[in-house]
Structure 1
């Protein structure tokens, strides 16, 4: 009974925080590069995140980590995978320590990503594997937000118009050519701020646009 009441209290507290003007909340933009697209079958190769206190991205506390999974990564005939070389995997991070750090960063923050289905899916697998809770206030999916906006304005939406690069281009943001977790986390954070401050689709509070956890 006590556990149920605590869960209810946590839910209510989260709802109250999300009712604030969105600029008053803290955000964590995150990107994951993996060996494949399935969170249940593939491994995280690298992860990066950066805190956002609107209107600024806190680049000074950005985090970037690579995981070798205890074995040498086979790059095949390619010298890199997701911008990573064999030298990067030599200096890999400890997964449990890294994900514990991420758990603390997400506490009382809204997670921002450009494909909730994949990124949040991988983090739920992390929860199971390492018994580390990932409890952000909510998840803001920049892809889903842009899809909803385009459907309202134009009707049909092409898949290639929802890539991170294509979404950024519509807001006049520069194109980052390197496919790298830290670059993409920052790029996602910039897109989120552009979406939030856009006069065409202004945000009011995260309660209006949050994704369910």
Structure 2
């Protein structure tokens, strides 16, 4: 961990936040590649945001739920709403979040720290998860912290992997959006387009795909994180 802190501190003259030091302690040892799928802790998460530019837009809400052994821990889920200076009309139409709404809201700093402490060193799971990670990383940078170090799993790419296409197959993105996959896997879409709702849906989707992955020879941490050619 000291090496990680040293590398990060060289990039900034500001002190490293305490929550970040705490977070880095979970990465002092690499996870064993032979860890079976049943022993891996996953955190399915989603962010609702003011837009799709991680550098300019802001987080409006977080939703996250952990799962291990292909079981979801609903007693320990996370949902938080974030105070931001303004909310774009488009975001309100999709997410229904108003800055003067009734939800109890936290500062961006409080919400981001809460999420990082919740995630620890879990494998982060999301649908098109790279965007959610990028916007969280942008928020972390504003707090003088580094980027997330967690391994991640994209359920869109995982669904393609489950289907075992040949490398020459033309993949239609519309076949792998969250709504389409929910219909295919018979997952309820209640609370869709809320962070907590989408995190729950993503977790259910992962739970339905993991047994299929095992049938494809994906049995452990190393197998799971192999890159798909698509």
**For residues 155 and 24 of structure 1, do their structure 2 counterparts lie closer, same or farther at Cα, with a shift above 3 Å needed?**
same
Hey, what does 1:49 align to over in structure 2? 64
Q: How does 1:31-180 map to 2 (within 5 A)?
A: 31-69=46-84, 71-73=85-87, 75=89, 80-88=93-101, 91-133=104-146, 135=148, 137-150=150-163, 152=165, 155-176=169-190, 178-180=192-194
Separation (CA, whole Å) in 2 of partners of 1:30 and 1:135: 14
Q: How far apart are residue 72 of structure 1 and its match?
A: 4.8
Alignment of 1:187-198 (within 5 A): 187-198=201-212
Is there any run of 5+ residues in structure 1 with no aligned partner, and where?
Answer: none
Question: After alignment, is 105-114 or 147-156 more displaced?
Answer: 147-156
- Other-structure match for 2:17: none
Deviations 1:53-73 (A, max 9, x none): 22221112211111231x353
- The CA RMSD over aligned residues, in Å, is 3.1
> Which sections of structure 2, spanning at least 5 residues, go unmatched?
8-25
Give a deviation string over 1:60-116, Cα, whole Å, max 9, x none.
2211111231x353538x974413245437632122122112112222211111112
- Bigger shift: 133-142 or 117-126? 133-142
Offset at residue 157 of structure 1 (A): 1.8
The alpha carbon displacement at 1:171 in A equals 2.4
2:220 is matched with which residue: 194, 205, 211? Answer: 205
CA shift for structure 1 position 192: 0.8
Q: Give secondary structure in 2 for the equivalent of 1:157.
A: coil
Task: Give the match for residue 24 of structure 1.
Answer: 39
Structure 1 residue 13 corresponds to structure 2 residue 26 = no
* 1:121 to partner: Cα distance: 0.9
Query: Any runs of at least 4 consecutive aligned residues in structure 1 with deviations exceeding 6 A, and if so which?
Result: none
Q: Normalization by structure 2: what TM-score?
A: 0.76
Count of aligned positions: 206
The farther-off stretch of 87-96 and 161-170 is 87-96
Q: What's the CA shift string for 1:130-154, capped at 9, x where partnerless? A: 1345545410111111123346269
Residues 35 and 151 of structure 1: CA distance in aligned 2, closer, same or farther (over 3 Å)? farther
